[in-house]
Amino acid sequence: MATTAATARVVPVAVLSRPSRSLWNNALYKLRRDKLTIGALFVLVILAALSLAAPLFSEYVFHYKFEQQDLLHTYEKPQLDNIAYLLGSDEIGRSQVVRLLYGGQISLFVGFTAAFFNLTVGVALGLGAGYFRGVLDDILTWVITTLNGIPQIYLLLIIAALWRPGPFTLVVIIGLLNWTGISLYVRGQTFALREREFITAARTIGARDRRIMFRHILPNVLPLIFVLAAIDVGAIILLESALSFLGLGILPPTPTWGNLLTNAVSYFVRAWWLVVSPGAMIFLTVLCLYLIGDGLRDALDPRLKTH
């Protein structure tokens, strides 16, 4: 008896001496051991750094400006002899690799900015509707089912075709159309959370709606928002590339991965390498973002199902 009492006293001390783990600490711990996610994050950071450093690369490494032409070196195959043609050259002798780096700047900018708009609108509306319910929720549900009823690419293409928006307007439009999925998830979570005891407790001690929403519910929805954000950025990059590919996104001479492909299509019989590299960049970027989204979901809450 004495020995068990002694060990019983010792064990809690040992447990207590371990640092306490919050949700985020715990997630970080799990993430660190998830090689695939870390790898994806690593690749994404490198891609972003390369794109951001595009002017430096074009000046000091490739010695080639992105708009520079050379009619004596059109349709150069990918090669190591002339580093500027590492990934080949196009029909007027522009360097594919330099244009690809610059294109990355725009594609990543569009992805992250539009996702920011999406998340702001989606989270605000989802939280509001889920919390207040009633008429507000009915209206939101109506707007969402309506927007979901029209294939998104149709709406976006038609808006782009009729109004021909500039790059920034386009980002805002994508941001304002794409939030329905996010807001449905947030609404669902808020629905469930507002019935929990800690919310009732907060209300009993006189917390106002705003405080309950932002201090009690939002932090609990945050893990979900992080997962959705990673996937959302990827989805937007795909959407923008499709739009640019169809000639309605961001227009040349500003290079984006999508409009580099539009150009490549006209020459693909002669220069297949012009088709391969921009698409591979999109694929790689989006793949990393989706893998990060998956990894975050597993780390933060394995019960979340966001197929």
Residues in touch with other proteins (CB under 8 A):
142-143, 145-146, 148-155, 157-159, 161-163, 234, 238, 241-242, 245-246, 261, 264-265, 268-269, 272, 275-276, 278-279, 282-283, 286-287, 289-291, 294, 305, 307
Residue 261 CB, nearest distance to other proteins (Å)?
6
Q: Which is nearer to other proteins, 53 or 304 (CB)?
A: 304
**Amino acid at site 87:** L
Question: Please, what is the minimum distance in Å from the beta carbon of residue 265 to other proteins?
Answer: 6
Q: CB–CB of 61/94 below 8 Å?
A: no
Query: In the chain, which ranges are continuous DSSP H helix?
Result: 2-17, 23-32, 35-52, 54-56, 96-132, 134-149, 152-163, 167-177, 180-193, 197-204, 209-211, 218-245, 257-265, 273-300
**How many CA atoms lie less than 13 Å away from 277 in the CB half-sphere?**
24
Smallest gap from residue 87 Cβ to other proteins (A): 15
User: What end-to-end distance do the CA atoms of the chain give, in Å?
Assistant: 53
**Residue 76 DSSP class:** P
Structure tokens that stand for 227 in this block: 């997962």
Shortest CB 175 distance to other proteins, Å: 18
Nearer to other proteins, 129 or 286 (CB): 286
Which lies closer to other proteins via its Cβ, residue 85 or residue 245?
Answer: 245
| Residue corresponding to tokens 């019983």 | 8
- Residue 46 or residue 158: which is nearer to other proteins going by CB? 158
Residue with Cβ nearer other proteins (201 or 280): 280
Q: How far is the CB of 70 from other proteins (least distance, A)?
A: 25
Q: Which of 65, 275, 245, 270 is nearest to 157 (CA)?
A: 245
